[in-house]
């Protein structure tokens, strides 16, 4: 978005009661050449966050070609995890507490970066090519998490705790030996980590649904429900690696999943359940998605706004919930 559009959407959201935003800090765009940074897009974001009193969760993701060796896509991991760690630390050093961005802009009230998520959906081949690799991701986490903490110990570092693996060939897999199950067997720097990122999408099923017709084993079925959040809690606890869950994307699309009224009920109930019944282990919930609306496709249908900018019932329901 332009700086003005970015501000306008964030202002509308903060006026509705939303004060946390999750946004890409794309390595491929911010460091297109090694050691040469283009901070303009994230400077705009952090400027607007300061003016609006908003908190930012940065997704540090996607490799520049010089780091991955791939010019065809930035969704390949870096060849050297140290390069990623250095960039993640640079983000923390610029936007964290006492960061260079704040010293360069003394007219802004500092609103330091609150959290960094290590990559977006590394369990899915489309974002970690050619296929997800829990061992390689753990290597990235081991390099990056301590580097971020060294730059700003107060920034919360979040790693992916999703249950599934999405392979390029579409092969089936189960959470019993899926992404999180394999990642929990890796050596992780738990002292430098503050939360598990989970995207508890559940199709057309609601946040209070506990069973799925046709499954003989309803415990197995939980992986496809909003109930996957306590499942993640139980798995990480059993492994001695519990950290609070950050539900960094959740939503229902009105272009493939549900109608507008159902979207409103599900978004409201998901937030209510997270901050009420599950408050002991769910730290944050991010409703997907705030962007220029394009409801004609499934991804765009997650928006809580119609294409003309008017609010869907889900926007109004969320606003009422946040004000209650």
Looking at residue 193, its pLDDT comes to 98
Number of helices and strands (H, E) in the chain?
12, 7
Looking at residue 204, its pLDDT comes to 97
User: Do 164 and 102 form a contact (C-beta atoms < 8 A)?
Assistant: no
Taken in order of first residue, the domains within the chain and their CATH numbers are: 3-323 (3.20.20.80)
> Which two three-digit tokens encode residue 246?
């950050």
Query: Distance (Å, rounded) from C-alpha 128 to C-alpha 122?
Result: 5
Looking at residue 85, its pLDDT comes to 98
Helix, strand, coil percentages for the chain (3-state, nearest 5): 40, 15, 45
176 exposure class (CB count in 10 Å sphere: 0-12, 13-18, 19+)? exposed
Residues paired with 245 in a beta bridge: 196, 282
194 has a pLDDT exceeding 90? yes
Query: Distance (Å, rounded) from C-alpha 142 to C-alpha 127?
Result: 19
Q: Which residues touch 220 (CB under 8 Å, ≥6 apart)? A: 174, 176
Residue with tokens 């030996």: 177
| Residue 284 pLDDT class (50, 70, 90 cuts) | very high
H or E element at residue 28: helix 27-30
Assign residue 243 a region (left: φ > 0; alpha: ψ between -120 and 50; beta: otherwise).
Answer: beta
User: Do 179 and 118 form a contact (C-beta atoms < 8 A)?
Assistant: no
139 exposure class (CB count in 10 Å sphere: 0-12, 13-18, 19+)? middle
pLDDT, mean over the chain: 97
Task: List the 115-118 sheet strands across, edge first.
Answer: 20-26, 55-61, 115-118, 156-160, 195-198, 245-250, 282-287
Looking at residue 11, its pLDDT comes to 98
3-state secondary structure of 258: coil
31 has a pLDDT exceeding 90? yes
DSSP 36: B
Residues paired with 57 in a beta bridge: 22, 115
Residue 267 main-chain phi, psi, to 5 deg: -65, -45
173 has a pLDDT exceeding 90? no
Query: Distance (Å, rounded) from C-alpha 192 to C-alpha 212?
Result: 37
User: Do 43 and 101 form a contact (C-beta atoms < 8 A)?
Assistant: yes
217 has a pLDDT exceeding 90? no
Alpha-carbon Rg of the chain, whole angstroms? 19
Looking at residue 42, its pLDDT comes to 98
Instruction: Find the length of the chain.
Output: 324
176 has a pLDDT exceeding 90? no
Residues paired with 22 in a beta bridge: 57
Looking at residue 86, its pLDDT comes to 98
Query: Distance (Å, rounded) from C-alpha 146 to C-alpha 296?
Result: 42
Question: Among 258, 282, 260, which Cα is nearest to 271's?
Answer: 282
């Amino acid at each position: 978005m332009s700086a003005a559009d970015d501000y306008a959407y964030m202002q509308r959201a903060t006026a509705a009661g939303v004060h946390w935003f999750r946004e890409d800090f794309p390595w491929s765009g911010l460091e297109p050449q090694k050691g040469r940074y283009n901070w303009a897009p994230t400077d705009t974001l952090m400027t607007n966050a300061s003016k609006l009193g908003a908190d930012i969760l940065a997704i540090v993701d996607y490799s520049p070609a010089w780091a991955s060796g791939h010019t065809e896509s930035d969704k390949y991991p870096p060849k050297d995890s140290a390069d990623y760690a250095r960039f993640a630390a640079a983000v923390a050093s610029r936007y964290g507490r006492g960061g260079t961005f704040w010293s360069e802009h003394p007219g802004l009230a500092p609103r330091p970066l609150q959290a960094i998520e290590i990559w977006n959906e590394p369990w899915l081949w489309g974002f970690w090519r050619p296929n997800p690799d829990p061992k390689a991701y753990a290597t990235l986490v081991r390099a990056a998490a301590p580097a971020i903490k060294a730059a700003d110990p107060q920034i919360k570092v979040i790693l992916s705790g999703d249950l599934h693996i999405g392979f390029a060939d579409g092969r089936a897999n189960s959470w019993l030996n899926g992404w999180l199950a394999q990642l929990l067997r890796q050596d992780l720097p738990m002292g430098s980590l503050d939360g598990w990122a989970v995207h508890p999408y559940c199709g057309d099923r609601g946040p209070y649904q506990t069973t799925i017709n046709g499954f003989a084993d309803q415990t197995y079925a939980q992986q496809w429900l909003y109930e996957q959040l306590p499942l993640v809690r139980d798995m990480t606890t059993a492994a001695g690696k519990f950290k609070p869950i950050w539900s960094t994307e959740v939503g229902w699309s009105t272009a493939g999943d549900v109608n507008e009224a159902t979207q409103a009920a599900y978004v409201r109930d998901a937030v209510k359940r997270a901050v009420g019944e599950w408050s002991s282990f769910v730290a944050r919930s991010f409703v997907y998605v705030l962007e220029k609306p394009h409801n004609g496709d499934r991804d765009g249908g997650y928006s809580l706004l119609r294409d003309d900018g008017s609010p869907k019932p889900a926007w109004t329901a969320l606003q009422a919930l946040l004000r209650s």
